[in-house]
Chain A
Amino acid sequence: MLVVNDLVTSYGKIEALKGVSLEVNEGSITCLLGPNGAGKTTLMMTIAGVLKPRRGSVRFNGEEIGGLRPDRVVGRGIALVPENRLVFPSMTVLDNLHAGAYQRSDSFEADVERMFTRFPRLRERAAQQAGTLSGGEQQMLAVARALMSRPKLLLMDEPSLGLAPLVVEEIFDIIAQLHRDGTTIFLVEQNAHMALRVAKHFFLMEQGKVTFSGDPGSLAEDEVIRRAYLGSKA
C-alpha cells in the first residue's frame, strides 16, 4: 500500500533520513521503533508532506506522493495523528472534528456521530475547548480528527507519549479496534512493549536508517527494546 524507497530528508546540511526504505501492507498494523533522534518523526512528517524529501520516493497505491503538499496527501487518503497530538486548543471538540473533515464535500455528520459512539468521552465534552481536555482525551480527539477525513492509511506518531500507563492501555485498545475495523495503521512508538503486542510487522530505525525489519517474534523482545531505546551501539 505504502512503499517508501531510499528516502532522504534533511534539515539544512544535516540528513535526518539517510535513505529509508520500508513498506506498509494494506490492512496491517506496522510499527516503527527506534531511539530518540532516529528520524521517526521526520519520516512521518515527510510522508505527510510537511517536510519535503531531498531524494527518494514515497508511493501510495502505486502513485508517487513524495513532495506533495500536506493537504494533497490528505486528499489521497493518508492522515497523520501527529506527535504531541496537536489538537486545536482554543476550538471546541466538535470544531476539531469539523476541521478534520475539512476536505470532504459530502455530509459528515454521520461520521461525527460515529466518532462520538467510538469515543463517548468526546461526546460529553463536545462543546468544551480541546485545550481543557486531559492528555488521553486529547489523544482520542487527535485520532478522531484524523479519522474524519476517512483515511485509507492512518499514520500515528507516538500516541502513548506522556500518557499514564492505564491511558496507554486504552489508546492501544483503540488502535487494535481500528485495525479490526479495517483501518491500515502505520505507528511510530517508543513504547516497544505495547507496540509489539499490536503490530503485525515492525521496523527498527537508527540514525536515519532502517536497521531491522521483521515480525514481532523474529527478534527477542528485550533485544528490540534495547535497540529501540538505546540504539544497537549501546
Chain B
Amino acid sequence: MIDFLQNTLDGLALGSSYALLAVGFTLIFGVLRRANLSFGPAIMVGCYAAVWLSLRHAVAMPALFAAVVLGSVAAGLYVERLSFAPHRKGSAIAAMVASFALWMQLEELATLLLPQHIYPFPPLLDAGPLAFGPLVLRKEAILLMATAVAVCAGLRFLLYRTRFGVAVRALIDDPTAAELTGINVSRVFLLVFALASAIGGVAGFLIVATHEQVTPMLGMWSTLKGLLAMMLGGLGSLPGAVVGGVVLGLLEAHSQWYLGPQLRDLVAYLLLFVLLALRPPWMNTQSAS
C-alpha cells in the first residue's frame, strides 16, 4: 500500500511535467491544427542556452530560469516563422516536415555549441526530500505540481477572461471567421507560439533542474511526451492534455515499479494503441482535419 501511494505521488510529479509539455504542444496543435515536432527541441535550445551561460559565468537561479524560458521562446518563434508561417493555409504535412527539419537543425546547433553528450545543470533547491510519514517527496516535485496547477489556472484565465483569449478560441473554432472578425491571425499565431514555448520552457527548466543534467535527447523526449500525453487526452483539448499528462505520469511510475523500467514505456504505448483502436467518444479524432 505504501508502495502504491509512493508510486502515485511520484507519478503525479512526473505527470505534472508531462501535463505542462502537453499543454504547450496542444496549444499549438489546437490553434494551428499542425503538429510541431520542433516543440521539444526548442525547449532543449533554451536549456542549452542556460547551460552555456552557467559554464561561462556564475549565474543565479532566476537568471538561468529566464535563460531557459527566453531561449525556448526565441527558438519557438524561429520555428514558427520558418516552418509554420509559410504553410499557414497550405499543407499540414509540409509544415510538419519543415518542423522536423528544424528539429535536426536545432539539435545540430546544440551539439556544435556544447559538444559533450551530458552537461550538468545546477540543482534548483538544496537537497533532502520532504518526508510525509512513510512517504517521501522531493521539493522539486512539489514545485512541479504547484507550477502545473498555476500554469493551468493562468492559461484558463487568459483564454476565458481576456481579449487575447477570445482571439485564440476564435482561431481554434474557425480560422476564416476569425480573420473576418478582424483578428490579425498571423500575430495571434506568433503569440500562441511564444506562449506555448514559454510554458514548454518552464516545464523544461523544472525537468532539467530536477535531473540536474541536460542532454540533446531532451528535445526528442519532450516532443514525444507532449505528443503522447496530448493523444491520450483526446487530441487538441487543453483539459484533455492535462489529464493525459497526469495519466501518462501515473502509468509510467506504476509500471516502472511493478514491471521494471524496460516495460515502462511499452505500457504507455499499449494504452495509446488500445485507445486509438477503440476511439472512445472523447478522443476527438476529427480535429486534425
Contact = CB atoms under 8 A, between A and B. Distances in A.
A163 B271 CA distance: 45
A98 B179 contact: no
B173 A102 contact: no
A138 to B, nearest CB: 11
Interface in B144-185: 163, 166-167, 169-170, 172-174, 176-185
A contact residues, range:
20 to 34
A201 interface: no
Contact of B184 (A69, A100, A146): A69
Nearest to B183: A102
B167 A79 contact: no
Interface in A159-209: none
Interface string B171-202: 01110111111111100000000000000000
A146 B172 CA distance: 19
A102 B172 contact: no
A122 to B, nearest CB: 16
Q: Is the interface of B mostly helix, strand, loop or mixed?
A: helix
A38 to B, nearest CB: 20
A75 B177 CA distance: 15
Contacts of A225: none
B contact residues, range:
10 to 19
Contacts of B182: 70-71, 74-75, 79, 100, 102-103, 149
Given A95-B166, A98-B166, A99-B166, A74 B180 contact: yes
A89 interface: yes
Nearest to A70: B179
Contacts of B173: 88-91
A71 B177 CA distance: 11
A87 B177 contact: yes
A149 B179 contact: no
Given A88-B170, A90-B172, A102-B166, A79 B184 contact: no
B176 A99 contact: no
A95 B167 CA distance: 10
Contacts of B178: 88, 99
Interface string B208-230: 00000000000000000000000
Contacts of A95: 166, 169
Interface string A34-62: 00000000000000111000000000000
Contact of B180 (A50, A75, A91, A98): A50
A103 B179 CA distance: 11
A99 B167 contact: yes
A230 interface: no
Contacts of A48: 180
B166 A86 contact: no
B174 A88 contact: yes
A47 to B, nearest CB: 11
A169 B247 CA distance: 53
Contacts of A70: 179-180, 182, 185
A145 interface: yes
Interface string A148-163: 0100000000000000
Most chain-A Cβ atoms within 10 A of its Cβ — which of B173, B174, B181, B183?
B181
A104 to B, nearest CB: 9
7 contacts: A82-B176, A82-B180, A88-B170, A89-B173, A95-B169, A99-B167, A99-B183
Interface of B: 163, 166-167, 169-170, 172-174, 176-185
3 nearest CB pairs, A to B: A74-B182, A86-B177, A88-B173
Given A70-B180, A71-B185, A82-B177, 10 more contacts: A49-B179, A50-B179, A70-B185, A71-B179, A79-B182, A80-B180, A82-B180, A88-B177, A91-B169, A149-B181
